[in-house]
Chain A
Amino acid sequence: MSAETMSVFSPALAARFDLLVEKYPLRRSALVPMLLYAQDEVGYLSDAVVSEIAHRIGITELDVRNVATYYSMLRFKPVGRYNIQVCTNISCMLRGAYELFDRFQEELKIGPDGFDRDGIFSLEEVECIGACCWAPAIQVNYDFHDELKPELVPGLLDGYRGRALAESEGKDA
């Protein structure tokens, strides 16, 4: 993709993708990482994201979608600025993951649109995140929180609310 063409990605990410597709013996090997990194920046795999990635790799949009739908971290709809992922798989379940999930539900009161009232958080139950010995564990975006207890949930959420506020004030300034 030439530099003049409009990109959905920031210049930094576009430059990173330019390098990434050349890194492998086969261009297409860049597909899964590109989808994930694009999602990290844009929030989800929008039509424009799918289209640009297909173009960059040189495959069809259908091919991109066919691969993307296989991976459970990849999504076609936006989530909250902080997406809370509670692992409820066996090791976490044994140490109270469902009680933790219930507490998040109570605190966040996620609406039918999938977000909390302030539109900051979204919540999902996920499979094993590889923190079994530090259960119950959650991820907020990519940050791990180990050995979390239901009573710590309000404080954790307040911390992220504060960060969200600081970020939006920073943008306004």
Chain B
Amino acid sequence: MPRLVSHPDEVKIVTRRFGQGAAKIDRYLELGGYEAAKKCLAQGPDWIIDEMKASSLRGRGGAGFPTGMKWSFVPKQSTKPKYVLVNGDESEPGTCKDHLIFLHDPHAVIEGTIIAGLAIGSRLGFIYLRGEYRYLIEIVEKAVADAYAKGFLGKNIFGSDTEFNIITQTGAGAYEVGEESALMESLEGKRGIPRIKPPFPAVVGLYGGPTVINNAETIATVPHVIEMGGAAYAAVGTPRNGGTRLFCISGHVERPGVYELPMGYNLKKMIYEVAGGIRGGRSLKAVVPGGSSTPVLLPEEIDIGMDFDQVGKAGSMLGSGGVVVIDDQTCIVEFALRTISFYQHESCGWCIPCREGTDWLKKSLTRFHAGFGEAKDIDNIQYLAENMMGRTFCPLGDAAAMPTIAFVKKFRKEFEDHLNGKPCPFAKHVELAVI
């Protein structure tokens, strides 16, 4: 079972029930569970959406869209059924928070799904987990069955005349399916190819019906927002960035782990105090602040608050909360190559700039890292990546291009050190270029 960590600076809201056996429904109830859903049932949809708006909770999947606003876009009247979709496809490298939520607090996800359903007038929700999380799928399925047995799900939830059902769904290995429209395609039994937008899911989503799709962490946060009250939740974070966030600190730190910290918590402090600093007394070279698709930050750029706006101002993104810390013994060209290899593998091939771009970037970086690079390749890598930006249906193309551009811009010297037939100065895993 994954190790839980703790630090005095943490504000435990979403992680409040972790490690307390709350996957069992009776324990969840003892810890105050399902009270928020009951309250929402009594108060009605407008009240729920007002609370969510007041909370300034923003989507935890990466884009940071305000949750209350997203829910308010769903038309009240619809000839087609409406759906709630929970995105637990968690596959952005550096991110492992939903893993813990499903393991320790699956009922929070179920309760959040019920509340989202009440808010938009839906009768059916789906919880989609990545296929690799098989043991977690079993935990969530058990939790759903227990909620049905208690009458919290089904025809008359909590003894009311309101109906709400939940179906769990498994993926089968695809990063791309984490994109909302690709996830809907996958749920409809198709290849996870993204759809063109507009129309947006709130209007035309799953099975053509209006759909709210939220990240699993966002949904697990919802019951806590209702319990605390939107305004109180918002007060924990920074303006327009309500509450806390599960930061997954990985890489070269002394104490890697998932820490729940208030939005706006200082990144430098997060690395040096919360996660215990750089492993083995080495020095910091770079930080990827929000999952592998976010542009890298230099040590002098990390004295910033970790919220969507401040990280954006620093030229990167808060993304999915995956903070990857890189020490001075790491080859950035190799790191860039490993990053792009992932996106090349995961590109669905639908849009040419992404399919061809990721492939050429991987080839160029492979050759470059093996010491066969030429000076003009450095500019070419950047140029190629820049030309992928904004030219694809879904953000995978951007996700591959953005970090690559930042690696070249911020570590040009390190790219130059690989020139003139010199193999990698950190020479560990140089593979021969296969072109």
Contacts and interface: CB of A to CB of B under 8 A. Distances in A.
A75 B135 CA distance: 20
A71 B132 contact: no
Nearest to A34: B189
A70 B345 CA distance: 11
Interface in A14-40: 23-26, 28-33, 35-36
Interface stretch (B53-61, B95-103, B414-422): B95-103
A133 B96 contact: yes
Contact of A139 (B99, B132, B187, B322): B132
Interface string B323-350: 0111100100001001100100110100
B167 A23 contact: yes
A132 B335 CA distance: 15
Nearest to B130: A130
A130 B216 CA distance: 14
A147 B250 CA distance: 12
A32 B2 contact: no
Most buried by B among A32, A33, A147: A32
B67 interface: no
A98 B429 contact: yes
A50 to B, nearest CB: 14
B250 A72 contact: no
A90 B339 contact: yes
Nearest to B99: A130
B132 A135 contact: no
A146 B324 CA distance: 17
Given A98-B429, A133-B96, A90 B338 contact: yes
B3 interface: yes
A132 to B, nearest CB: 4
A76 interface: no
Given A70-B348, A89-B292, A132 B248 contact: yes
A67 B99 contact: no
A98 B428 contact: yes
Nearest to A98: B429
A94 B132 contact: no
A85 to B, nearest CB: 8
Most buried by B among A93, A98, A133, A134: A133
A90 B189 contact: no
Contacts of B187: 29
A41 interface: no
Interface string A56-77: 0100000000110011111000
A133 B258 contact: yes
Contacts of B348: 70
A91 B324 contact: yes
B425 interface: no
Given A130-B91, A133-B96, A71 B174 contact: yes
A98 to B, nearest CB: 5
Given A73-B132, A90-B251, A135 B256 contact: yes
Contacts of B256: 132-135
B95 A130 contact: yes
Contacts of A24: 167
Contacts of B91: 127-128, 130
B207 to A, nearest CB: 6
A94 B330 contact: yes
Most buried by B among A32, A95, A130, A142: A130
B260 to A, nearest CB: 13
A122 interface: no
A91 B189 contact: no
B170 interface: yes
Interface in B170-191: 170-175, 186-191
A131 interface: yes
A25 B338 contact: no
A94 B323 CA distance: 13
Given A71-B174, A128-B91, A88 B191 contact: no
Contact of B188 (A29, A33, A72, A143): A29
A127 B346 contact: yes
B288 A90 contact: yes
B277 interface: no
A147 B332 CA distance: 23
B90 interface: yes
A89 B85 CA distance: 28
Given A26-B207, A91-B93, A33 B251 contact: no
B163 to A, nearest CB: 14
B2 A131 contact: yes
B395 interface: no
B243 interface: no
B342 A57 contact: no
B207 A130 contact: no
B242 interface: no
13 contacts: A29-B189, A33-B170, A35-B172, A67-B189, A70-B192, A71-B172, A90-B94, A90-B292, A91-B94, A91-B324, A94-B252, A132-B256, A142-B132
Interface of A: 23-26, 28-33, 35-36, 57, 66-67, 70-74, 88-91, 93-95, 98, 127-135, 139, 142-144, 146-147
Interface of B: 2-3, 5, 81, 90-96, 98-99, 124, 130-135, 167, 169-175, 186-192, 207, 248-252, 256-258, 288, 292, 322, 324-327, 330, 335, 338-339, 342, 345-346, 348, 428-429
